[in-house]
Structure 1
Amino acid sequence: MRSFRKKSVLTVAFCAAMLTSSLGSAYAAVNLEPINAFFNRGVSFVLNGERWKPTDANGKALNVVYYEGANYLPARALAEALKIPIEYDAAAQTIYIGSKPGAKTPIFAAPMEIDNIYAILSRASADTLVNGVSYQEVLKIDQYGDVYFTIDRKYKRLVLDAAVVSPGEHEVDVSLYNASDLAGNAADTVLEKHTVSPEDDSTRMSFNVEGLEKIRIHVQSPNLNPYIYARILDTSYFDNGETASP
């Protein structure tokens, strides 16, 4: 047991079945190699200061595998405990831990809560025609508004497109806050702020949301003007931080 304690616990995927893979005999013949390993039932874990036991999707306890002096953990159980997204692409035989390269999630496809009577999600043609360009859906904010997105640390960036429409004549501030239940007093601290001008057809903004579980986007005139006529456009998206197209 002393040797177990001296070895680092490696976070690797050791069991393809845990990621619901389906392997044919040809693949197995080329890529799978039998090993002589052991279940190590003597290892216990403390995750972020609390006792933790790895389990599968049905809550069944999973054991650590001990092989050649190292302990191996099931990748999915650990990633989910750390709130890191994990996905298995069976066709490509690739496990993605964290964001998939190039993947984008449209802003209105993310879990969303609107907390203001002046902020309305709309598909009406009168609202989705924004400065001469038609969109399928917009968030209409005529005075001020807050919208919350639950992102569970899945993304690094929010690329947000917004505009001010007629008769709006004031600049609009778009501010990012940490809305996690654990944010405490930090929930009132602006993490980033960008400005949308009524002189532009639309403005693209980039917010760093890496490591955040839940965010709040607050939209309001910097001078507290009552009517702003702002629109958040459905071309906005969350992604893993690649450079936004102009």
Structure 2
Amino acid sequence: MRMKVKKSKAVRIMLVVVAMFVSSFGSAYAAANLEPINAFFNRGVSFVLKGELWQPRDEDGKPLTAIFYNGNNYLPVRALAEALKIPIDYDAANQKIYIGGKPGEKTPIFAMPMEIDNIYAIPTKDPKETNVKDKQYQEVLKIDQYGDAYFTLDRKYKRLVLDAAVISPGEYDVEFSLYNAGDTAGSAASTVLEMHSVSPDDDVKRLMFNVEGLEKIKLHVQSHNLNPYIYARILDTSFFDNGDPAAGNSSSGTIIK
């Protein structure tokens, strides 16, 4: 019985020490990084976003009120970024808030949520199908006549970097057209945002599309001559990213040899 009492006391002492350590750590962090201020909820201010009354809300949908401090009104950066359709990420480990996407973030095209026309656009890993311009790839999206591929972006990316080619026996130039496929696109969904073409004489060609601020996109692949067989291939080296500051965000096509 005595042994149990001692063990129980030891456990209680250990818990107290842990609690004191956590409290001390939290206090040290607060002392170094957090500064108390005298601020007020400003319930009299309202917001107009692009001509319409706007109510900022938190992640749970609860209304947010501006905080008035030192002559300025403040709102959480996430509420503003999402309203303006700007990607935002929070790195808790490094205490960094990324507005406009994380630099260097890159996602391969086949790792993205994708919807495709299964009749004419087919992803394949067949080695016979993935040999393009005498180079072996692991996976390609083959479009032999025409096809649409939809990608859900959630405004996380600025560019679609597309590596594409036309293989034998294709004999027509192929157009790759970008559309806004988001729920709020409305009549703009039928407007081509960007279009680039690839010739059968080209080697693998790198095409860059601006997708900044888009929730969802459609990539339409077809010949200008409408319905001939085109034998187009989208390669697994394609990806979405937030741009290359060193190279700029040019959307011109580049031949990859």
Bucket of the pairwise TM-score, normalised by the shorter protein: 0.7 to 0.9
Equivalent residue for 2:80, pick from 78, 81, 84: 78
- What is the aligned partner in structure 1 of residue 116 from structure 2? 114
CA distance in 2, matches of 1:26, 1:132: 61
Structure 2 counterparts to residues 1-246 of structure 1, below 5 A: 24-115=26-117, 117-224=119-226, 226-242=228-244, 243=247
Larger radius of gyration: 2
Q: Deviations over 1:67-118 (max 9, x none)?
A: 1111110112222233322111122211011111122222233332213510
Give the whole-Å Cα distance in 1 for the aligned partners of 2:85 and 2:193: 21
- Point out 4+ residue stretches in structure 1 off by more than 6 angstroms: none
1:216 corresponds to which letter in structure 2? Answer: K
Structure-2 change in CA distance of 1:25 and 1:130 (3 Å):
farther
2:85/2:213 contact within 8 Å kept: no
Please list the CA deviations of residues 111-168 of structure 1 after superposition, one character each: whole Å capped at 9, or x if unmatched.
3221351011223333223233232322110111111223233322211101122332
State how far apart, in whole Å, the 2-side matches of 1:63 and 1:189 are. 38
Distance 1:24 1:128, change over 3 A: farther
Separation of aligned partners in 2, 1:149 and 1:112: 5
Distance 1:170 1:186 in 2: 28
Cα pair 1:170 1:225 within 8 Å, conserved: no
Q: Deviations over 1:153-184 (max 9, x none)?
A: 33222111011223323322212223344444
Larger helix percent:
2
Aligned identity (percent) is 73
Q: Aligned letter for 1:78?
A: L
**Match of 2:13?**
none
Unaligned stretches of 5+ in structure 1?
A: 1-22
Report how many aligned residue pairs link the two structures. Answer: 224
One-letter code aligned to 2:175: D
Distance 1:64 1:185 in 2: 34
- Letter paired with 1:125: P
Q: Measure, in 1, the Cα distance between the counterparts of 2:189 and 2:63.
A: 36
Matched-pair contact (CA < 8 Å) for 2:89–2:101: no
Q: 3-state DSSP class of the match of 2:82?
A: helix
Taking a change above 3 Å as real, the CA distance of residues 45 and 200 of structure 1, as seen in their structure-2 partners, is: same
So what's the TM-score if we normalise by structure 2? Answer: 0.76
Q: Would you say the 8 A contact 2:86–2:213 is kept in 1?
A: no
2:120–2:143 contact (8 Å) kept in structure 1: yes
Contact 1:116/1:146 (<8 A) preserved: no
Name the CA distance, whole Å, in 2 between partners of 1:184 and 1:39.
37
- Given the superposition, is the C-alpha separation of residues 170 and 81 from structure 1 closer, same or farther in structure 2, using an over 3 Å criterion? same
In 2, the alpha carbon distance for the partners of 1:108 and 1:78 equals: 31
Contact preservation (8 Å) 2:164, 2:206:
yes
Separation in 2 of the partners of 1:182 and 1:81? 13
